[in-house]
Amino acid sequence: MVDCRDRGLQYGDGIFETMRVRSGQVRLLDLHLDRLYLGCRKLRIEAPARPNLRRELVHLAGHRQDGILKLIITRGSGPRGYRPSGNERCRRIAFLQSLPGGGSDDEAPVRLRVCTTALGTNPALAGLKTLNRLESVLARAEWSDARIWDGLMRDADGNVVSGSMSNLFLRRGATLTTPLLDRCGVAGVMRRWILQHAGDLGLRTAERRVRWSDLKSAEEVFMCNAVAGIRPVRSIAQAGGSTLKFGRRETADRLRSLLDAQ
């Protein structure tokens, strides 16, 4: 239970991380903490000292061999009004949950669709995983077909930005491209890890605007997030339109092997 006056509930004034626990340890914990503290700095939320929070998360993860650890950090409770009083004390709320679908990591290629709900442009919040997630909720409510793993979201200019709960990569030759997230979208921790490690596999990386035509000319497409890892894409269906199909998955597989070996 949480205080009704918590600004996380009142205004979505906070951030969160959804982390994968494997063998009692948080995968990519330090990348999660990097993003979390970046978010707190940008929102000017006074987060707990990093070593202490890290210790808490390590301790919590130890309670479960395999699962999901979600951490919400809000600015805390305060008086009415948008303006933080400065006297709020940040609140942290942790959830330890089992993995959906039995717990084993699925590696099969996934189907995507293209969402109608657009991502709004907001440079001040772009990249952060804030508690303002209504766009993802609306996008994810667009389909109920369980065979569709995620939906691609575009910005108002039609650029492809991300999935509703995952980030997008395309490969053409030896170049991995992922959409630039300077105006909207969540800069996922797994995306970060891939950008850091693609060079180990001899791949160049680029963050830039991605158009539908880039998807058409891609040799391989994959999605990623901290919980599901890296998933090859087999198809992307447009509403009432054509379906793009992809047959290759070697980059996704090599990256996943590298990730699992860590």
Which residues bind to a second copy, rule: CB under 8 A? Answer: 1-13, 16, 43-44, 68, 70, 72, 74, 80-84, 93, 95, 97, 100, 117-125, 130-141, 156, 164-165, 184
Categorise residue 51: left if φ over 0, alpha if ψ from -120 to 50, beta otherwise: alpha
**CB nearer a second copy, residue 90 or residue 93:** 93
Is 31 or 99 the residue whose CB approaches a second copy more closely? Answer: 99
Pairing verdict, β 229-237 and 220-225: antiparallel
Smallest distance from a second copy to CB 93, Å: 5
Q: Which is nearer to a second copy, 160 or 170 (CB)?
A: 160
For a second copy, which is the closer residue by CB, 77 or 251?
A: 77
CB of 248 to a second copy, least distance (A): 29
> In the complex, what is the shortest distance from the CB of residue 155 to a second copy, in angstroms, rounded to a whole number?
9
Tokens 């992922």 correspond to 178
Residue whose C-alpha is closest to residue 192's, from 178, 173, 182, 172: 178
Q: How far is it, in rounded angstroms, from Cα 201 to Cα 250? A: 11
Give the residue with the Cβ less far from a second copy, 81 or 173: 81
Strand 175-179 to 167-172 pairing? antiparallel
Q: What is the DSSP string of 108-147?
A: S-EEEEE-SSPBPP-TTTTB--BS--HHHHHHHTT---TT
Q: Among residues 130 and 251, whose Cβ is nearest to a second copy?
A: 130
- Residue 92 phi/psi, 5-degree rounding, is -115, 140
Nearest distance from residue 136's CB to a second copy, in Å? 5
Q: Strand, helix or coil at 38?
A: helix
Considering the complex, what minimum distance in angstroms separates the CB of residue 69 from a second copy? 11
Task: Please tell me the distance from the alpha carbon of residue 262 to that of residue 246, in angstroms, as a whole number.
Answer: 28
- Quote the least distance from Cβ 139 to a second copy, whole Å: 8
